[in-house]
């Protein structure tokens, strides 16, 4: 699926942030694990501590903050997309 040029809800431009988002997430995951394997990511479970009011953000959340995407509608557009081009090529 291709990233929509704008957010469906608020209309903010997202197309220019897609490539930096993907490259930053992949590089951060490479630094963390040594390799990016989607099957390994599915096996990694993270539990939220109810007593800790501010759990640690995921890599994707940190990258979205760096790209100044703070609205949940825009974050949904980025997180909900599947980078299917990599599977087709």
Structural domain boundaries in the chain: 1-26+57-89
What pLDDT score was predicted for residue 62?
94
Residue 7, Cα to own-chain centre: how many angstroms? 15
Give the Cβ contact number of residue 14 at 10 Å.
20
Average pLDDT over residues 57-75: 94
Taking alpha carbons only, the member of 30, 13, 24 closest to residue 69 is: 13
Confidence bin at 1 (pLDDT 50/70/90): low
72-79 vs 59-66: helix axis angle to the nearest 10? 120
Q: What is the pLDDT of residues 33-45, one digit of tens each?
A: 755 555 555 556 6
Domain covering 1-26+57-89, topology: Arc Repressor Mutant, subunit A (1.10.10)
Please tell me the pTM assigned to this model. 0.71
Hey, is 66 helix, strand or coil? helix
CB 81 within 8 A of CB 1: yes
């Amino acid at each position: 699926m291709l990233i929509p040029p704008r957010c469906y809800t608020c209309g903010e431009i997202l197309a220019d942030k897609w490539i930096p988002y993907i490259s930053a997430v992949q590089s951060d995951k490479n630094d963390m694990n040594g390799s990016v394997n989607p099957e390994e990511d599915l096996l990694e479970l993270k539990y939220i501590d109810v007593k800790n009011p501010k759990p640690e953000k995921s890599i994707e959340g940190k990258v979205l903050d760096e790209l100044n995407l703070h609205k949940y509608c825009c974050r949904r557009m980025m997180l909900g997309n599947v980078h299917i081009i990599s599977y087709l090529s």
